[in-house]
Amino acid sequence: MAVESPRLLAFAGSLRRESFNRRLIPVLAEGARAAGAEVSLIDLRDYPLPVYDGDIEAAGMPEPVHRLQDLMSEHDGLLISTPEYNGSMPALVKNTLDWISRPTEAGPSGTTLFRGKVAGIVSASPGPLGGLRSLLVLRDALAKLGLVVVPQQIAVGLAAERLPETGLLADERMREGVHGVGAAVADLAARLRRQ
């Protein structure tokens, strides 16, 4: 029986309309698609969430959480492009992951939604280091949730020059690197699907 293509969920960790990380996501997705994955691109603007608060959760889970949890259960992995804020990942990314990790009707812990799935991470920043430090923190957070984060990662520095428009990464070596991250996630997710 033919094994279905792995399905990956991709988003940028920035709400800004002209976000460099938003511009980078299609490049990451392109690499994954070329390696055989189906990629769903989402915009976190469409999933507005308050800062996590147990009282809000107790009063009723915000509706976007259900939609994100459903998406997570339907996909084999994540592709994330994150900014770096003060040497770490943005609150938006952590808050989104925290809400998704809350219990669902299907299981006592939302972390079961993440467990054994694959993730690939990249970052972009106008600074020279490209947000590299945010990747270290995000990698650790994803691993704690049970995702297998592929070792490949790329931090796109000097993003104002290198990412002049959506999907255009004007540096061949970096473009290949970002494609490589997407391809590695697609490959590993496909192998895990076959098991």
Ligand X SMILES: Cc1cc2nc3c(=O)[nH]c(=O)nc-3n(C[C@H](O)[C@H](O)[C@H](O)COP(=O)(O)O)c2cc1C
With residues binned 3-state (H G I as helix, E B as strand, rest as coil), the percentages for the chain, rounded to 5, are 45, 20, 35
166 binds ligand X (CB under 6 A): no
Distance of alpha carbon 109 from alpha carbon 106, whole angstroms: 9
- Choose between 125 and 153: whose C-beta lies nearer to ligand X: 125
Distance of alpha carbon 79 from alpha carbon 21, whole angstroms: 12
Please identify, among the stretches 15-23, 34-42, 67-75, 137-145, the one whose residues bind ligand X according to the rule CB under 6 A.
15-23
Hey, what are 73's tokens? 């259960």
Judge whether 180 and 30 are in contact, CB under 8 Å. no
107 binds ligand X (CB under 6 A): no
Q: Which of residues 65-94 bind ligand X (CB under 6 A)?
A: 83-87
Label residue 29 left, alpha or beta by phi (over 0 means left) and psi (-120 to 50 means alpha): alpha
Q: Which of residues 17-56 bind ligand X (CB under 6 A)?
A: 19-21
Distance of alpha carbon 188 from alpha carbon 123, whole angstroms: 21
Minimum CB separation of residue 13 from ligand X in Å reads 7
- Choose between 14 and 152: whose C-beta lies nearer to ligand X: 14
- Choose between 87 and 116: whose C-beta lies nearer to ligand X: 87
- Residues at the site binding ligand X, with contacts judged by CB under 6 A: 14, 16, 19-21, 83-87, 124-127, 129, 131
